Structure 1
């Protein structure tokens, strides 16, 4: 890849994840797609007496410092922001934020989900919104929020990336790929659902006008320009602000029949479709229909991802145990295959805390032995994730009437060679791993497309395939061993 010239336009991607935020600059040309990380900062949730919150002011400040670093790398043509889904801030009538946004792992959501389902049953929610049932979906969080003193003053709801865009530009809007994760979006029409808002007693005026990826959100407010050193006319472009939607836009697929796994804190495993699948069978299988770029549908299921491994590592670090990832993976490679398996989607694994103990409890509850040392735990987690990928993608293909030819595994998990190989082995399908920076690439490419430097999804994906480092894995070993492990998992769930 050629280096970015000082005179080439630079696209600044603000990419906020569950544990850190980054500002990455990108240069785009006919056969060039170059990323440079210019700033990284921590994303540390805050436990307050009222619950677990995101420190959104620290995130905003980190973003501003990152944009100042980006300004030094070249003429910034635009800025795009992506984050995780479902979480939001409430603004009052003056446009001021009413408290810190709640974290989706806060424990308030389970009871709120029961309250919502008492007013609008699960079948209707799915028939309209098409979302996988997760207790932290925005629709359930709002039910919990309504009992707080903030609620009567709330006039506008902004999802996390839309809140940050508002603070940069003063412009209010709701980007569609993230709006589709709320449970208040009509999966067929692509609009806010007046039916669900009315049923749940939510004011339509709280929900801003929808924006598609690739449109201009606004330009920088003067004080933002002053702090960052960017010109006040710098454009903020609406990208696919749900990080998974940006990642899927950068999947380097050049063939039909591909599946994807966007693997980080969560594994998002699924297919790209032209229309939602809203059948009762799909609801029972807990698949979600979220918007992608250009009106596509991300038909997928959330799997509890590398969170399982990272929480194990944090527990071991607190206990003073060395937990270098390379050593852990080497130990996993040596550990006994299929000694034990867990369901990554068991709700007991959702909250922060002692993950090895929770894995032990789940294994004992299902009549299995516990892992032998850290390497055994890592092998249990990675084999279980590979089995979850297999189960999810096979079910998605059956429900959507698709035949799969290849899996594209993108995101940070694509660097994990064991996970990639075991996903190929478990599914019996070839796996293309990479790019690891799929989310940032999708963010940058959508900005570049808005500036006429790249074409539609096929052009974007072709550019990724030509310019990024990819690794290929073919199924190996005994397929029957994975079949038997999958059977054990199914029986034990």
Structure 2
């Protein structure tokens, strides 16, 4: 007896530097992805601000969806992206200006202002979220009194904004809403009292929906433009890209940790309940929503953004221009853990604007301040970044396991960073645990799997989704090696009481 027929869906997977539209095919023994459209993305500076060209993103999304529709049947559409950024709509449903990038400087110092009204412990007890200066709550406090916020009828996080332009339906998917620091992680609803206390117009927060809900059918003009029927649904996937990536972690039991490795590294555990202890708050761990009511208990670690910014800086200088594969090959033979720095230092967050502010210069300054050997070449800087990331992963995984009372027997690295063989091996060495690397396309795979479940394609639950990933995608195993004293390297970066580097 045959099972459910396979489905073919479109996964829109947006990153802060590039976006992709993928065609996904899912059945009981099938899980395939084909990239049909890729486009560059990034912040655009105007009048002193850093914005997203969201209409340009929408144009590229439509172009990709048209390609998917031209090359086969289309049964559904899902959109995932980075978190926290949003657009505002007026009462006519029109966009009120370009959405700010979370890397814009308008939130500088805002977190300290908020904590004068709502204490850190109270904020954490409600939202369970790591204090990051670009969280939506701080963006909205920074926007108080602006014409756009005062005129707004609705706030839509970026995946929901793009979905709105496809369907005309307003809403917020919970895994992404949980990153705003305006979401009650236990009640799984908006924390309206918190918004009111901070003078945020709470009425702009849209209705919440779950991953797997149908957002709505396509608007007639959109269906006509794509060349498909209006009945094609847009489905709310786990629209925070990390939540989507965790869906595709090919784990077989509960004793696993994950690292969603890309621009950011999100290091954590999958739990049934949030961890809202004072120790978790002081350690700056976050409780974000996952699929089916799970909690992603994790810490944001600055990821390969740091290395990509170094590559950009070196590429601007003919004397230092070098390819990534050449750097990684040379860095493999460089001295291990010779120089380590705090990759979560807030000075590594903004993009570089000049030679003195370029990322390699910042890495050098951090090494000088820490009394570490100075990395003077691109190879030395690259090895410093990768060793420092592995050390940060070690610290955060051990802290997460202790705070949650969980044992960890294996680390799954998914996302683009899973292709960095050197970083994965260093992670295994530093954590003293086996690392299973892959799939690289985890966010897009999670996107299509959630759509497939909604469409009845033979993956009824999270366990069956992960089983399908294991059966259809290879992972590479990295076993821990001895020989490097990671304890000594860790001791060179002293910790505060809360478990963060000084």
Normalised to the residue count of structure 1, the TM-score between the two structures is 0.97
Alignment counterpart, residue 19 of structure 1, candidates 8, 14, 17: 17
Matches within 5 A, 1:303-322: 303-320=301-318, 321-322=320-321
C-alpha distance in 1 between matches for 2:226 and 2:374? 52
SS at match of 2:37: strand
Equivalent in the alignment of 1:468: 473
C-alpha distance in 1 between matches for 2:125 and 2:48? 34
> CA offsets, 1:32-69, max 9 Å, x none?
10100000011131001141001101100000000001
C-alpha distance in 2 between matches for 1:243 and 1:230? 26
C-alpha distance in 2 between matches for 1:8 and 1:28? 5
Equivalent in the alignment of 2:146: 148
Aligned partners of 2:141 and 2:199 also within 8 Å: no
Question: Is 1:386 aligned to residue 385 of structure 2?
Answer: no
> CA offsets, 1:151-200, max 9 Å, x none?
22111110000100100000001100000000010011101112212211
Matches within 5 A, 1:237-386: 237-320=235-318, 321-353=320-352, 354-386=358-390
Equivalent in the alignment of 2:462: 457
Alignment counterpart, residue 85 of structure 1, candidates 83, 86, 90: 83
C-alpha distance in 2 between matches for 1:142 and 1:124? 19
SS at match of 1:76: coil
Deviates more, 1:123-132 or 1:367-376: 367-376
Equivalent in the alignment of 2:130: 132
Aligned partners of 2:144 and 2:200 also within 8 Å: no
C-alpha distance in 1 between matches for 2:222 and 2:378? 47
Equivalent in the alignment of 1:488: 492
> CA offsets, 1:51-106, max 9 Å, x none?
10011011000000000011022110000000000000011111111100000000
Aligned partners of 2:7 and 2:455 also within 8 Å: no
Matches within 5 A, 1:415-454: 415-453=419-457, 454=459
SS at match of 2:360: helix
C-alpha distance in 1 between matches for 2:139 and 2:75? 36
Aligned partners of 2:6 and 2:28 also within 8 Å: no
Equivalent in the alignment of 2:214: 216
C-alpha distance in 2 between matches for 1:153 and 1:111? 25
C-alpha distance in 1 between matches for 2:10 and 2:237? 11
Equivalent in the alignment of 1:75: 73
Structure 2's unaligned 5+ residue stretches are 353-357, 496-500
Structure 1's unaligned 5+ residue stretches are 1-6
> CA offsets, 1:116-175, max 9 Å, x none?
222212111101000000000000000111132222211111000010010000000110
Aligned partners of 1:87 and 1:102 also within 8 Å: yes
> CA offsets, 1:5-36, max 9 Å, x none?
xx953110000001011000111111110100
Aligned partners of 1:331 and 1:376 also within 8 Å: no
> CA offsets, 1:184-221, max 9 Å, x none?
10011101112212211233321111000001000111
Deviates more, 1:64-73 or 1:360-369: 360-369
SS at match of 1:490: coil
Alignment counterpart, residue 483 of structure 2, candidates 455, 478, 487: 478
C-alpha distance in 2 between matches for 1:90 and 1:117? 25
C-alpha distance in 1 between matches for 2:115 and 2:325? 45
C-alpha distance in 1 between matches for 2:121 and 2:48? 32
SS at match of 2:223: helix
Aligned partners of 2:195 and 2:201 also within 8 Å: yes
SS at match of 1:244: helix
Deviates more, 1:322-331 or 1:423-432: 322-331
Aligned partners of 1:269 and 1:393 also within 8 Å: yes
Deviates more, 1:75-84 or 1:117-126: 117-126
Alignment counterpart, residue 407 of structure 1, candidates 408, 411, 417: 411
Aligned-residue offset at 1:255? 1.9
Aligned partners of 1:8 and 1:75 also within 8 Å: no
SS at match of 2:481: coil
Equivalent in the alignment of 1:3: none
Aligned-residue offset at 1:483? 1.3
SS at match of 2:134: coil
Aligned partners of 1:169 and 1:220 also within 8 Å: yes
